[in-house]
Amino acid sequence: MFTIAKTEATRGIWSSTRNMPDAPGRGMVTVDVIAAGICGTDYHIYNWDAWSSGRIKTPMVIGHEFVGIISAIGEDVTGYHVGERVSAECHIACGECHFCRTGNAHICENTSIIGVDRPGAFAEQVEIPASNLWKVPDAIPDTHAAVFDPVGNAMHMVSTAKVTAKHVLIVGGGPIGLFAAAIAKAHGARSVTVQEPNQARAAIAHSLDLDLVVNPLLPDSTSKILDLTDGHGPEVVLEVSGNGRALNEALAIAAPGATVALLGIPGGPVELDLGAKVVMKGISLLGVTGRRMYETWYQVEAFMLKNPDLIDKVITHVLPATEFERGFELMDEGACGKIVLDFQQIEHRLSA
């Protein structure tokens, strides 16, 4: 079957063929992929950065955010049937470790991730445990259902930070930052500001009809945020840029008592003025990873059902899966929101 894979240990990503998965094993299902989103993680793998080159074993079919139709069901799978449309959690948790057993499967110590540690969803078919599936209501279109996972990252962050009635600053206007902005708005934030230097992304933020979009490279960005927040600064900061300097600037203007959720991964250590900007201001820095299984999924479903217009604005491109290179080039240029690949038009689909 057609796949998009890391076949060589160097920068790039390539189309490749792989045999269709065998009949699914016990507790597993096979899903025919309809559509899949390109994640920042896929882009890291494409760039073959330190993290990905240290973890990925080539060849590896990538991709982990997707929607599809169940085409085969393994032994002992209950509650699902062939023909159902599903998305899926890409983190396959062990279910047995201390963290899984105490409601924290998102930090399972034995996690395996599809598209990273095992064959992913940029393929005509993907095999996944039934316990990772999420049934998609009919009212949610395929392109939205394909991005349950990144909307879930944003939702986990927003839910953790508790934005309702608060001034919210989102540092970084990539897809997750934009989804977070949309969710914060839908959850009743007092104001939502996106800080993003890339003007293509800032334009998407503008289209969400937020309270403020600022360019951190311009001198007035801080004063604009302070004006909007009655001089106190944001009460919630959602850090998705991974940029240490931006984090420090955000801490400097954050209101005393603010909650700062951290989702972006800095490239290296970050120097922080913990004394003056965290301890004495009573600020909380909350590391956020993955999605709560599966409470976050339920929350995302609720959001998607109510706010399709906002999601449409963040998904800027739907490309045929075969044009995946164009997708990665758009990410190189930063000229996009979320990109979704359409796997339905693959020639010879469902034939190995």
State which amino acid sits at residue 327: G
Nearest distance in Å: CB 244, its own copies: 8
By CB under 8 A, tell whether 113 contacts its own copies.
no
Integer angstrom CA distances of residue 97 from 61, 94, 106, 109, 250: 27, 7, 11, 7, 36
- Clarify whether 41 is annotated catalytic: yes
Cβ-based nearer residue to its own copies, 166 or 201: 166
Selected catalytic residue, list 3, 7, 30, 41: 41
Other beta carbons within 10 angstroms of residue 58's beta carbon come to 13
By CB under 8 A, tell whether 270 contacts its own copies.
yes
By CB under 8 A, tell whether 109 contacts its own copies.
yes
Please pick, from the candidates 252, 280, 350, 352, the single residue that binds its own copies as defined by CB under 8 A.
280
- Which residues ranging from 321 to 350 are in contact with its own copies (CB under 8 A)? none
> To which H or E segment does residue 68 belong?
strand 65-73
Question: Residue 34 pairs with which residues in a beta bridge?
Answer: none
> To which H or E segment does residue 340 belong?
strand 338-342
Distance in angstroms (rounded) separating the CA atoms of residues 192 and 150: 19
Longest dimension (CA), the chain: 63
Burial of residue 186, with CB atoms counted within 10 A of its CB: 0-12 exposed, 13-18 middle, 19 or more buried: middle
Angle made by CA atoms 237, 193, 267, in degrees to the nearest 5: 50
| Residue 21 structure tokens | 């998965």
Q: Among the candidate windows 121-129, 212-220, 279-287, 318-326, which touches its own copies by CB under 8 A?
A: 279-287
Please pick, from the candidates 10, 219, 269, 345, the single residue that binds its own copies as defined by CB under 8 A.
269
By CB under 8 A, tell whether 252 contacts its own copies.
no
Nearest distance in Å: CB 177, its own copies: 15
Distance in angstroms (rounded) separating the CA atoms of residues 88 and 65: 7
> Each residue of 79-110: b (16+ CB within 10 Å) or e?
eeeeebbbbbbbbbbeeebebbeeeebbebee
Binding-site string for its own copies from residue 282 to residue 301, where x marks contact by CB under 8 A and - marks none: xxxxxxxxx-xxxx--xx--
Please pick, from the candidates 81, 101, 245, 326, the single residue that binds its own copies as defined by CB under 8 A.
101
By CB under 8 A, tell whether 135 contacts its own copies.
no
Nearest distance in Å: CB 149, its own copies: 16
| Residue 102 structure tokens | 């105490």
By CB under 8 A, tell whether 79 contacts its own copies.
yes
- Clarify whether 160 is annotated catalytic: no
Cβ-based nearer residue to its own copies, 96 or 323: 96
Distance in angstroms (rounded) separating the CA atoms of residues 127 and 28: 7
Please pick, from the candidates 278, 318, 319, 335, the single residue that binds its own copies as defined by CB under 8 A.
278
Integer angstrom CA distances of residue 265 from 51, 129, 301: 11, 28, 26
Cβ-based nearer residue to its own copies, 280 or 352: 280
Nearest distance in Å: CB 268, its own copies: 8
Q: Among the candidate windows 170-178, 182-190, 312-320, 335-343, which touches its own copies by CB under 8 A?
A: 182-190
Binding-site string for its own copies from residue 31 to residue 70, where x marks contact by CB under 8 A and - marks none: ----------------------------------------
By CB under 8 A, tell whether 241 contacts its own copies.
no
Burial of residue 116, with CB atoms counted within 10 A of its CB: 0-12 exposed, 13-18 middle, 19 or more buried: buried
| Residues that bind its own copies in the complex, under the rule CB under 8 A | 26, 76, 78-79, 95-96, 98-99, 101-104, 106-107, 109, 131, 159, 164-166, 183, 186-190, 230, 232, 242, 244, 247, 256-257, 262-275, 278-290, 292-295, 298-299, 302-303, 305-306
Catalytic residues: 41, 44
